[in-house]
A and B are shown apart, each in its own frame.
Chain A
Amino acid sequence: MEGRDATAVAVGPVPSGTPDRREGLWDLTVAAASSKTFLTGAVILVFWVLMALFWGIVAPYDPQAVDPTASLAPPSGEHWFGTDNLGRDVLSRVLAGASSVLTVAPLGTALGMVGGIAVGLVTGYYRGLVDDVIMRVVDALLAFPLIIIAVLVLSVLGSSKVNVVLVIGVVFMPIVARTVRSSVLSEREREYVAAARLRGESGGYIMVSEILPNILSPIAVEATIRLGYAIFTSATLSFLSLGIQEPSPDWGLTISLGRVYLQAAPWVVVFPALALATLVVAVNLVADGLLQAVEE
């Protein structure tokens, strides 16, 4: 196997025991926290996470409470963001709407990351024919628009939260696998891997206990970038009415349903749109900050 030759070359003074370049995720966060980009994004993101968890305490009204007398009321002191066609308070629905997107997107991301890391580690470490074939397939499929695949699959599987999580996870898996694989490819030539091999460690041990801790930084960056795309995708699928269903105050869904009242009551769609925009931009700022910290 190719790997064995690399070991033979790297004989020389082999450092024993611990790897030489183990950067903790904590160091990365500390480095990133010094950048304004990262902090701005993190503050907004934390705000929405808090809303997703505790909207019940903050929201002025019950997001599902119908009030026929106040249908499509414009923003006022009573209803800061106005009301929708059923007289429900838009502000409360916007705050509560954070929870669905912040459940589906992180779960989909997590699924894609776990699967992608596993495939990336194995293909990157063992290389060979399987690696070639998998990467060819990944290249070809990545060329095709994600949303079209998602529409196709969800139309057959049916639209539900679980299916959106599955679709996002499965589509992300090859993308993550490719990033992880390229990190593994450069890591596996390092001396600490050679040392572990000479000690007679198994492939599984080397992948999980030696290589994985050393590629956590690029994995963290990839996870943040994926989270951004997952929010983008799950919101778009809700908007296309293939994701989360009524009566959830989900932002994408609310915008989709509120389009009918666009001319009479633009506030019904504008506020969820702005909320989604801030969340997506925040995640991208965090990703950008992390990326800069890794590169430095």
Chain B
Amino acid sequence: MSLRSVQRWRRGRGGTVGRFLLRRLWLSAITLVLVSVVVFAVAEVLPGDVGRTILGPFATNEQVERLNRELGLERPLVVRYAGWLGDFVRGEWGDSFLLNTPVRPLVVERAVNSVLLGAFALAFIVPVSIGLGVLAALYRDGFIDRAISVTGLSLIALPEFVVGVIVLVIFAVELGWFPVSSQVPSANPVDVVRQFFLPSIPLMLVLFGYIARMARAGTVEALASDYVRTAVLKGLSRWALIWRHVLRNALLPTISVVSVQVGYLFGGLVVVETLFNYPGIGKLLLDSAVGHDLPVLEATVLVVALLYMLSNLVADSLYAVLNPRIRVGR
């Protein structure tokens, strides 16, 4: 989606980096508002009688009505939505029903843990996928190319928990190289790899297929372009050519793909953190959903949406800075 709108933009009249980012920011804002409406609808409207839910089956009807009035539940939906969103924006996220602790520090801590894990997976897989994608393009239609695209295609299809269980059995149970459940690592790099490597494999495998495919397509396109032909005729060596001309252009579509995939990364984190028992925001989301801990559930979904929007913005900025067509703004 994001990729397509970027392409549409590229074909358009052109503009400056600022205008490009403004447009993308606007789209993210719409997404964020829609997500917040869904969260509000699901968490505040669908459960029906909130007072009854909180007080339980033994409270009298008068008690339930009084609590509902105190909570402001008799106000119109739009007013309640505005108030709810306002509280969230002001940082008043309430207390967890289950843990009786304030929601904000909990969610922020878990979000940081997840970002660490996600960043580790990205830092590992992006260069590897781009490298293999470029390699596949260089040996186009050969054995390497087919091997890479077939593996990529099959790996995309596998659910994260299937891959996760299989790597757990091989590397944690049979070989004993890694722990069965992952903790937040200390600053020691060995510990970081020990804790993060296994849980990031399922995340990486899903991303690998997409990124490699995009890098391959970008490279194939760049190799066929006039400027590469000029560079070849100029007598530039093969590797200098790839490094200076091809890679840079192959990177652009790859960045847009990574920014789209960040969304799937957050979905994958729910599964992976549950499987590896890692204290991240994905596990918190599931735990609060299963335990009907609404304040935590609402906050986690909104924070995930916010993180997703931010990572998209970073990717878009990178795209704009690297792409001469946007940077120059002809």
Chain A residues within 8 Å of B, Cβ to Cβ = 136-137, 139-149, 151-157, 228, 232, 235-236, 239-242, 252, 255-256, 259, 262-263, 266, 269-270, 273-274, 276-277, 280-281, 283-284, 288
Which of the candidate stretches B112-120, B121-129, B223-231, B297-305 sits at the interface with the other chain?
A: B297-305
Whole-angstrom distance between the Cβ of A148 and the nearest chain B Cβ = 6
Whole-angstrom distance between the Cβ of A275 and the nearest chain B Cβ = 9
**Closest Cβ neighbor of A142 among chain B residues:** B1
Interface of B (DSSP majority class): helix
**Closest Cβ neighbor of A241 among chain B residues:** B290
Contacts of B153 in A (CB 8 A): 284, 288
Residue among A242, A270, A281 making CB contact with B165, cutoff 8 Å: A270
Q: Given A140-B27, A152-B297, A262-B169, does the pair A236, B35 have CB atoms closer than 8 Å?
A: no
A295 to B166, CA, bound (A): 35
Is B137 engaged at the interface, CB distance under 8 Å to the other chain?
A: no
7 A-B pairs with C-beta separation under 8 A: A144-B31, A148-B270, A152-B38, A152-B43, A255-B162, A281-B154, A284-B157
Contacts of A242 in B (CB 8 A): 289-290
Contacts of B160 in A (CB 8 A): 236
Q: Tell whether, in the assembled complex, residue B162 and residue A273 are in contact, meaning their CB atoms are under 8 Å apart.
A: yes
A173 to B19, CA, bound (A): 33
A147 to B266, CA, bound (A): 9
Q: Tell whether, in the assembled complex, residue A270 and residue B31 are in contact, meaning their CB atoms are under 8 Å apart.
A: no
* Those of B11-47 within 8 Å (CB) of chain A: 27-28, 30-31, 34-35, 38-39, 42-43, 46-47
Q: Given A137-B34, A242-B289, A270-B165, does the pair A146, B301 have CB atoms closer than 8 Å?
A: no
Interface of A (DSSP majority class): helix
Q: Given A259-B165, A259-B275, A284-B153, does the pair A232, B173 have CB atoms closer than 8 Å?
A: no
Q: Tell whether, in the assembled complex, residue A156 and residue B286 are in contact, meaning their CB atoms are under 8 Å apart.
A: no
Q: Tell whether, in the assembled complex, residue B31 and residue A151 are in contact, meaning their CB atoms are under 8 Å apart.
A: no
Is B130 engaged at the interface, CB distance under 8 Å to the other chain?
A: no
Is B168 engaged at the interface, CB distance under 8 Å to the other chain?
A: yes
A252 to B153, CA, bound (A): 21
Contacts of B161 in A (CB 8 A): 235-236, 239, 252, 255-256, 273
Residue among A155, A240, A269 making CB contact with B271, cutoff 8 Å: A240
A140 to B263, CA, bound (A): 12
Is B292 engaged at the interface, CB distance under 8 Å to the other chain?
A: yes
A143 to B157, CA, bound (A): 19
Q: Tell whether, in the assembled complex, residue B267 and residue A262 are in contact, meaning their CB atoms are under 8 Å apart.
A: no
Kindly name the residue among A140, A255, A263, A281 whose own CB sees the greatest number of chain B CB atoms within 10 A: A140
Residue among B2, B46, B285 making CB contact with A143, cutoff 8 Å: B2
Whole-angstrom distance between the Cβ of A255 and the nearest chain B Cβ = 6
**Closest Cβ neighbor of B271 among chain A residues:** A236
Residue among A147, A151, A276, A283 making CB contact with B162, cutoff 8 Å: A276
Whole-angstrom distance between the Cβ of B269 and the nearest chain A Cβ = 9
Is B252 engaged at the interface, CB distance under 8 Å to the other chain?
A: no
Contacts of A153 in B (CB 8 A): 42
**Closest Cβ neighbor of A288 among chain B residues:** B153
Q: Tell whether, in the assembled complex, residue A140 and residue B34 are in contact, meaning their CB atoms are under 8 Å apart.
A: yes
A234 to B297, CA, bound (A): 21
Q: Tell whether, in the assembled complex, residue A277 and residue B266 are in contact, meaning their CB atoms are under 8 Å apart.
A: no
Whole-angstrom distance between the Cβ of B116 and the nearest chain A Cβ = 19
A143 to B89, CA, bound (A): 22
Q: Tell whether, in the assembled complex, residue B263 and residue A144 are in contact, meaning their CB atoms are under 8 Å apart.
A: yes
**Closest Cβ neighbor of B262 among chain A residues:** A145
